[in-house]
Amino acid sequence: MNLKKNEIYETTVTGMTTEGSGVGRVNDTAVFISNSAIGDVLKTRIIKTSKNYAIGRTEEIIIPSPDRVNPDCKYFVQCGGCTYRHISYDAELQIKYQRVEDAVTRIGGFRNLKINPIVSCENRCFYRNKAQLPFGKDNHSNTIMGFYAYHSHRIIDSDCCLLQPPVFSEISRIVRDWAVRNNVSVYDEILHRGLLRHLYIRIAEVTGEIMVCLVINGKSVPYKNELIDRLKYVNGFKSLQLNVNTQKTNVILGKECIKLYGSDYITDILCGLKFNISPLSFYQVNRTQAEKLYSIAENYAKLSNDDILLDLYCGTGTIGLSMAKKVKKLIGVEIIPQAIENAKKNAALNGIDNAEFICADAAKATVKLEKQGIKPDVVILDPPRKGCDKSLIETVVKMTPDKVVYVSCDSATMARDISIFNELGYKPTEITPVDMFPATPHVETVVLMSRPLTEHEKYGEYFMNRSVSDIMSEYSEQHDEWH
Ligand code: SAH
């Protein structure tokens, strides 16, 4: 390492890390520079050095990358919410595609695997249906609310975020105003004192129903009727809830919810089905892209009405339920009890009676199912970022499904896992990346893998029902040159 802290060096950005920092090289050392773009030639000040790399900050852009655009948000750079608002959407999609390709070739070891073009999101703005805004105090003890700065708990005071629908700004202004006017105390993370922790908002995009939830360090809020009366002016306002979180923790939500007004849940429509969303239930934050993701998974699954479909890591059951009417039986497995309760309710809400949901670790549940002789025709896996246990992959393979559809939110673990499937005979044949979270570095993928062909399928009926001498004599009758 021959780079010095605080020194300024010139470099060209040639790549991106998985977290969205630009990568340049100075004297053969990789320098990571956030908010830079591939093709930038810039002067960078080294702010941190370590054994194998350095972190730099842009001092001056000498030649801007052709991908650069003017950021459309005034909080970009300070705010940790968006990574890519300074490059075009095409450039962002290219980076995401490249990331999937790199993982598949470098980690997975696949050379000629078909990677389809990335499915883009029509709206790069306003696509989130959920927001969690922390409350805090500025240096003058004024109440503020907004978003955390990058990798920190410093609050950037803002009531407007381009990733969220504009009505969320209206709600945050009302809640902030209510808190300030009534001098409602704000939670201090260090002292573990004060009431208001987060403002949590959800919208059901199709029905327009809105749920507002105050996460508090306590069990009640003062002047609640004033807040309710003001929120009633917001179009779609359906529910006001308190979420009790009295723990000294970074986890946003506590386990208990108290309804102050309206309904216990809001209802959205996804893939033609109704889903009731309560404060604690998981729901895809980009509904439109979730529908696209699920339809790719369904296309890959090619289900028929006598199939058994196993949906592993099913959450509240949305993927499996969206396909349940096309199969004989759906089995969903998920580790979180509330999610399984939601999944069961969601099935009932939609008149789906061929679904069974099991609350268990996916690896353990599959061993049990396999021992019971359950033979799914299609297995869908949608694991969290760390991917699947190897033992789970082995059990899935033992069940010999015709198809495995792997939905992933982390390309690196996806590449690792599909290469294990590949070693066990399940060849990946196609991958489709989907952009679920524009302006952030995340990219989802759907992978299709198929069962290894049996001898029978490989050589067909023709060869299986004939002896070798029959085949040779039939062949020689048709091909004179054999004589
Ligand atoms: N398929 C769902 C959710 C996918 S997110 C959807 O599309 O909405 C991944 C899910 O895996 C989460 O719900 C998480 O709770 C669950 N999970 C994590 N570890 C698990 C494990 N070991 N066994 C079963 N489920 C697990």
pLDDT of 483 > 50? The answer is no
Q: Which residue, 403, 209, 217, 410, is CA-closest to 323?
A: 403
The residues assigned a catalytic role are 409
Percentage of the residues of the chain whose pLDDT score is greater than 90: 85
pLDDT number for residue 395: 98
Given a cut of 50, is residue 24 above it in pLDDT?
A: yes
Q: pTM of the full predicted structure?
A: 0.90
**Inter-residue contact 297 to 446 (CB < 8 Å):** yes
Q: For a ligand 1 pocket test, name from 335, 361, 379, 437 the mutation site with the most ligand atoms within 8 angstroms of its C-beta.
A: 335
Instruction: State in Å: Cα 388 to ligand 1 middle.
Output: 10
pLDDT tens digit string along 427-472? 999 999 999 999 999 999 999 999 988 777 777 766 667 777 777 7
Establish whether residue 408 lines the binding site of ligand 1, counting it when its CB lies within 6 angstroms of any ligand atom: no
Determine the Cα–Cα distance for residues 65 and 411; give it in Å rounded to an integer: 26
Q: How many Cβ atoms are within 10 Å of 89's Cβ, its own excluded?
A: 15
The label of the residue with tokens 């699947």 reads 388
Half-sphere exposure of 124 (CA within 13 A, CB side): 18
Ligand 1 neighbourhood includes 361 CB (under 6 angstroms): yes
Residue 362 burial (10 A CB sphere; 0-12, 13-18, 19+): buried
For residue 32, the tally of other CB atoms under 10 A from its CB is: 19
For the stretch 322-364, pLDDT in tens is 999 999 999 999 998 988 998 999 999 999 999 999 999 999 9
Q: What is the position in ligand 1's atom list of the atom closest to the CA of 380?
A: 1
The minimum-distance atom of ligand 1 relative to the CA of 339 is: 13
| Vertex 134 angle, CA 130 and 137, to 5° | 155
Distance 469 CA to ligand 1 centre (A): 55
Six-digit token string for 275: 């889903």
Helix axes 362-371, 390-398, angle to 10 degrees: 20
Residues 443, 104: contact at Cβ < 8 Å? no
Q: What are phi and psi of 478, to 5 degrees?
A: -85, -20
pLDDT of the residue at 459: 73
**Amino acid identity of 50?**
S
Q: Are 274 and 349 in contact (CB under 8 A)?
A: yes
Position of tokens 């807040």? 227
Tokens of 60: 């001056």
Residue 279 has pLDDT above 70, yes or no: yes
Query: What's the average model confidence in pLDDT over 302-321?
Result: 96
